[in-house]
Amino acid sequence: MRLENVTWPQAEAYFKENDIAIVPIGSIECHGKHLPLGTDTLIPNRILDFIEEKTDTLIVPTMPYGNTDYLASFPGTISLGPEITYQVMYQILDGLYQNGIRKFVVLNGHGGNNSILDRLSVDFEKKGCILVQMNWWIMVWDLVKGYDGSEKWNGGHGGAEETAAIMAINKDLVDYDAIQDSPLKELSKDLPFSGMATVRFKGVDIPVRRLTKNVTDNGWVGPDHPKYATAEWGNEMLVKTADYIVEFIKVLKDI
Ligand SMILES: [Zn+2]
């Protein structure tokens, strides 16, 4: 049930019987030279299509922008920054709260939103609510095997994982000719970047958040090279994430 598709009496009837809603948020940002800027919004939206087929739970419109200041130097990236992202999401959640919603299932497409969602979780717990973060790209590390069949894997930013998900949505959205290696830079000779916001020293990854332009020229960061992406793998991620969320909501309803 999409909030934008129902009348106010239909919404009122839902709020009388239900206190749970799905609140999606993404981002508009660089994902390497080969992926669309809307990757973090397009993927949650496709997962929602699958969710909608299996549950009558209210879905509110996706917030397409998020907190992505560190990527903003790439053309086309638009960040609301932490304060505005917090304020916008607070207003959306509070609007639902005023209608009786007490359980928020936030389907999130972007890691930069997590600290804001943590803050909102505490703020709304004080108002008697529960906020659950469904970070799809992290969930699938446990829900599906890696592209090479491995049980233990993880994906980066704009790597094989997200590329596969976009291929499953629409293969034409991937610029295959633009898939290249994305060597990471160094903070110094002894401190090479090992991820988007970590340097490795003596085998340990230490968080050092820098503007992403200072970590990679291309904009994608592994470990999962996008050349390994397949639409089949991506579709498995989208379907299994949706199924998982539907099952989770059944349990959350009973709390
Ligand atoms: Zn992403």
Q: What percent of the chain has pLDDT over 90?
A: 100
Q: Calculate how far, in angstroms, residue 162's C-alpha sits from the geometric centre of ligand 1.
A: 6
Q: Tell me, in angstroms, the distance from the centre of ligand 1 to residue 154's CA.
A: 13
Q: How far is the CA of 192 from the centre of ligand 1 (A)?
A: 22
CA 191 to ligand 1 center in whole angstroms:
25
The DSSP code for 80 is -
**Beta-strand relationship, 103-108 and 20-25:** parallel
What residues contact 165, with CB distance under 8 A and at least 6 apart? 39, 43, 46, 234, 237, 238
Tell me what the pLDDT averaged over the chain comes to.
97
Cα distance between the two ends of the chain: 21
The predicted-structure confidence for 121-136, as pLDDT tens digits, reads as follows: 999 999 999 999 999 9
Q: How far apart are CA 188 and CA 199, in angstroms?
A: 10
Rounded distance from Cα 157 to ligand 1 centre (Å): 5
CATH 3.40.50.10310 in the chain: give the residue spans: 3-142+234-253
**Nearest-angstrom CA–CA distance, 30 and 49:** 24
26: tokens are: 């993404």
For 11-17, the CB contacts below 8 A with 24+ separation are 11/58, 11/99, 14/58, 15/99, 15/100, 15/101, 16/100
CA of 84 to the centre of ligand 1 (A): 20
**Cross-strand pairs, 79:** 66
* pLDDT for residue 44: 98
Q: What's residue 227's pLDDT?
A: 98
Ramachandran sector of residue 59 (left: φ over 0; alpha: ψ -120 to 50; beta: rest): beta
Q: 81 CA to middle of ligand 1, Å? A: 16
- What topology does CATH give the domain 3-142+234-253? Rossmann fold (3.40.50)
Give 39-81 pLDDT, tens digit per residue: 999 999 999 999 999 999 999 999 999 999 999 999 999 999 9
Q: What's the Rg (C-alpha) of the chain?
A: 19
